[in-house]
Amino acid sequence: MTSNPSAQIHGSSSELSLDAIDLQDRCELSNRTGMDSETLKRAFLNNLFYVQGKFPALATTNDYYMALAYTVRDRLLQRWINTAATYTELGSRTVAYFSAEFLMGPHLGNNLINLGIYDQVEQGMAELGLSLDELQEEEEEPGLGNGGLGRLAACYLDSLATLDIPSLGYGIRYEFGIFDQDIRDGWQVERTDKWLSAGNPWEIARPEWSVEIKLGGHTEHYTDDHGNYRSRWVPDQVVKGIPYDTPILGYQTNTANTLRLWTAEAPESFDFRSFNSGDYLGAVYEKMISENISKVLYPNDDSSQGKQLRLTQQFFFVSCSLQDMIRILHGQNLPLENFHKKFAVQLNDTHPAISVVELMRLLIDHHQMDWEQAWTITHQTFAYTNHTLLPEALERWPIELFGSLLPRHLELIYEINQRFLDEVRIKFPDDEERMIRMSLIDESGERYVRMAHLACVGSHAINGVAALHTELLQKDVLRDFYEMYPHKFTNKTNGVTPRRFMVLSNSQLSKLITSKIGDSWIKNLKELQQLEQFVDDAGFQVEWRRIKQHSKTELATYIQNNNNITVDPDSLFDIQAKRFHEYKRQHLSLLHIVTLYNRIKANPDIEITPRTFIFGGKAAPGYFMAKLIIKLINSVGNVVNRDPDVRGRLKVVFLKDYNVKLAQRIYPAADLSEQISTAGKEASGTGNMKFALNGALTIGTLDGANVEIREEVGEENFFLFGLTTEEVYHKRAHGYRSRDYYHTNAELKLAIDRIASGFFSQGDAELFRPLVDDLLNQDQYFLFADYASYIACQDQVAAVYKDQTKWTRMSILNAARMGKFSSDRSIEDYCRDIWKVEPVNVELRQC
């Protein structure tokens, strides 16, 4: 085993002569590692001078932010290098989390919390006349994800490090992340997210570990020296993958794991070829094409199928990562046969599923392994997490496109498929229909490669992300695979990190909790249960309420500054923050708003609980209906917020550009969390967990993790409404007619008629017609069927809110009973049941 301390991240076996650093040098390191307020300040000013090249009089806020970020990074580096050294020496079994998205959110605050120096740094900055809050605002967040799936990956990295599990996150370093959202005239407008333009102090490029990726071309067949028939891939394009590493520090531990993201570049040799032949522009063009690969994150339209660049991105990062892992294996002098012993790879949905084939190709074509052994290693390596129940969201690639980009992989898929279908035939003889359904190739019309099938066949474990979701996968979406391989299926209910979504974002509530039960809940969220003993303690209730009120006031100020809308912090803050999608039913909440408005218009003196409805979220740029719903929210807001009859009792706010930063402001300020998807559509949801952890009550359907949240907090502390999944299936099967509900529910009819009439669109009765027509004629997400139950439930919410003691009690119980939903618990489940990996203790060995 090498003693190179950085070999797991550096992967080289050459000796680094740390011993040559003499004692004095080592102690000078303390300027870069010391954690007391004085040392931190000194280091900060040093970085301002030597890294930013500024003295205070000329420094901008960004200079200060950068200087602080480097000060923090220095402290991370010491832990990072020690962690890598430890893993390398021990040859530790390592989790590789493969994900096309990592929605990390800003790093500064989180790193300060995990290092345990937040308060010192805040004080130190204040002494220098700087506000830590302002410096944190300066950070451009890396928005390298669309929503829940990408954020889950980020929470899991935090928990992996906190639990001292050796792990690497592998993904793509998109130059442009999820678009920035503007609102113009009520419509969503997208802007490019240039998150790297001011530089990224958290990453380190590692060009020395670049790898080459082949694309396109054709295959050739030949007989090798041992007389074996073999295939060789002759690509027509080669690109270079360059890794950029970001340290991921755990909470109160020395473990700092690595997030390794790949950037695509043209290999120099390609430039040269064109350049030498005088084709300078050709060379530059080549470079441009190559660099496109990691240029932009795909927004999640459901129609992302058939986009060549997306398949290229997937293959690119998977191939880079697998080659990198083989390099690490070799660097630790481990044989390739041990690949699955060294690494457990988790496939975050099907986006990295091509890795099943790529690992087979690397083992067989590059390392001359025989098929059986390669297959054993491959399927022992991978495990697959499914995140969706929407059939239209299951990835498939047209064979033509697939074969033109990855000709060798298509051959291997045919071979895998043939062997797999032989197995199916043996287990289920004479069941041709089943073979057609299960095949890796969809041949019902145009031919496609089915990525979910590939992931199921190539993995030893398959999981859903909430109990109901896993059950529905087994019964419905992946039923044939469950019947074939029941032992592969497990549930792994999602979780969220309490470090970012409590300690950092709700420091006052966190401090109150810690003052009562100590701080071990931060690493062991189940301990929150001890709060139950204070649920009837009047003093505790007052404090709990005061903190909620404080967060609401802060959000009210934000709304005033950003939307120029005055909202009352005493009103009920009713919040729905998530991606816009019809199945999530933001428009069901809109029907509630319009209903309340209609009640006021019919009787302006009606007794009503004042509410502020807050929405946040992005719609995929090509998703017309989702964008129309955003427009409708803003249109309804324009009318309701100004109508004197309303007397400020209802306010509707759309917060633009919902991202991790904004989410951290929103969760602490919520009274009511809207989790109102059609039952059977939301795989899990994780916002639902973050809201409840911060003391919001949930109004929700029996969907995704709502079911388990309700089980935990108690049905008396959860506002339940709506059809169950079974009822939805039943209605669909027996001819659902939304119009019947419209005709029989007067309030629903009035709400729809108001929207249809052009009342909210300055008389334009055409604007919202697509939405209204869809609801009246189709309503595939059953808004009308759930409307009455939703409104009745909301009336109950309003009544309970009037009793602030009761509400506060419910709020405390919600937070106290959220222990299950820590991502630490999720990760422990994965480690035990799927990855079979143990924690590794890291000692700090340098100054």
- The residues of the shown chain that bind ligand F58, judged by CB under 6 A, are 146-149, 152, 300, 304, 387-388, 393, 465, 494, 682-686, 704
CB of 700 to ligand F58, least distance (A): 13
User: Which pair of tokens denotes residue 25?
Assistant: 């040098």
Q: Which is nearer to ligand F58, 21 or 390 (CB)?
A: 390
Q: Which is nearer to ligand F58, 10 or 469 (CB)?
A: 469
Instruction: Give the integer Cα–Cα distance in Å for 97 and 261.
Output: 12
CB of 415 to ligand F58, least distance (A): 28
CB of 623 to ligand F58, least distance (A): 11
Phi first, then psi, for residue 92 (nearest 5°) are: -60, 140
Nearest residue (beta carbon) to ligand F58: 148
Task: Name the DSSP letter for residue 448.
Answer: E
768: Cα separation from own chain's centroid: 32
Q: Which is nearer to ligand F58, 541 or 823 (CB)?
A: 823
Q: Which is nearer to ligand F58, 95 or 266 (CB)?
A: 95
Q: Which is nearer to ligand F58, 543 or 828 (CB)?
A: 828
Instruction: Give the integer Cα–Cα distance in Å for 627 and 183.
Output: 11
Q: How far is CA 786 from CA 598, 613, 742, 800, in A?
A: 19, 20, 12, 21
Instruction: Give the integer Cα–Cα distance in Å for 532 and 104.
Output: 32
CB of 304 to ligand F58, least distance (A): 6
Is 492 in the active site?
no
CB of 136 to ligand F58, least distance (A): 26
Instruction: Give the integer Cα–Cα distance in Å for 504 and 113.
Output: 7
Q: How far is CA 811 from CA 618, 680, 724, in A?
A: 28, 27, 25
CB of 351 to ligand F58, least distance (A): 6
Q: Which is nearer to ligand F58, 4 or 677 (CB)?
A: 677
CB of 458 to ligand F58, least distance (A): 20
Is 548 in the active site?
no
**Exposed, middle or buried, 229 (CB in 10 Å: 0-12/13-18/19+)?**
exposed
Instruction: Give the integer Cα–Cα distance in Å for 804 and 258.
Output: 46
Instruction: Give the integer Cα–Cα distance in Å for 650 and 670.
Output: 16
User: Which pair of tokens denotes residue 564?
Assistant: 């120029």
Using an 8 Å Cβ cutoff, are 97 and 157 in contact?
yes
Q: What is the DSSP string of 104-131?
A: ---SHHHHHHHHT-HHHHHHHHHHTT--
Q: Which secondary structure element, helix H or strand E, spans residue 624, and what is its range?
A: helix 624-640
What value, to the nearest 5°, has the Cα angle with vertex 69 and ends 64 and 74? Answer: 130
CB of 789 to ligand F58, least distance (A): 22
Using an 8 Å Cβ cutoff, are 11 and 209 in contact?
yes
258 DSSP β-pair partners = 168, 247
Give the start-end residues of each E strand in 268-427. 343-348, 382-385, 396-398
Q: Which of 79, 173, 361, 578 is catalytic?
A: 578
Using an 8 Å Cβ cutoff, are 455 and 478 in contact?
no
With b meaning 16 or more CB within 10 Å and e meaning fewer, what string describes 144-161?
Answer: bbbbbbbbbbbbbbbbbb
Annotate 264-309 with three-state secondary structure: EECCHHHHHHHHHCCCHHHHHHHHHHHHHCCCECCCCCCCCCCCHH
Q: Which is nearer to ligand F58, 138 or 712 (CB)?
A: 712
Q: Which secondary structure element, helix H or strand E, spans residue 234, and what is its range?
A: strand 229-234
CB of 584 to ligand F58, least distance (A): 9
Instruction: Give the integer Cα–Cα distance in Å for 744 and 349.
Output: 42
Using an 8 Å Cβ cutoff, are 706 and 687 in contact?
no
Residue type, 226: H
Using an 8 Å Cβ cutoff, are 798 and 609 in contact?
yes
CB of 683 to ligand F58, least distance (A): 4
Is 579 in the active site?
yes
Binning the chain into helix, strand and coil, the percentages to the nearest 5 are 55, 15, 30
Pairing of strands 187-191, 143-144: unpaired
Instruction: Give the integer Cα–Cα distance in Å for 762 and 300.
Output: 32
Is 340 in the active site?
no
CB of 496 to ligand F58, least distance (A): 10
Using an 8 Å Cβ cutoff, are 363 and 369 in contact?
yes
Using an 8 Å Cβ cutoff, are 770 and 624 in contact?
yes
Q: Which of 385, 612, 686, 808 is catalytic?
A: 686
Using an 8 Å Cβ cutoff, are 510 and 528 in contact?
no
- Residue count of the chain, please give it: 847
Q: Which of 32, 387, 492, 651 is catalytic?
A: 387
Q: Which of 492, 584, 631, 817 is catalytic?
A: 584
Q: Which is nearer to ligand F58, 155 or 424 (CB)?
A: 155
83 DSSP β-pair partners = none
Sheet architecture: strand order including 719-720: 650-655, 611-616, 572-577, 672-675, 697-700, 719-720
CB of 267 to ligand F58, least distance (A): 29
Query: What are the residue numbers of the active site?
Result: 387, 578-579, 584, 686, 690
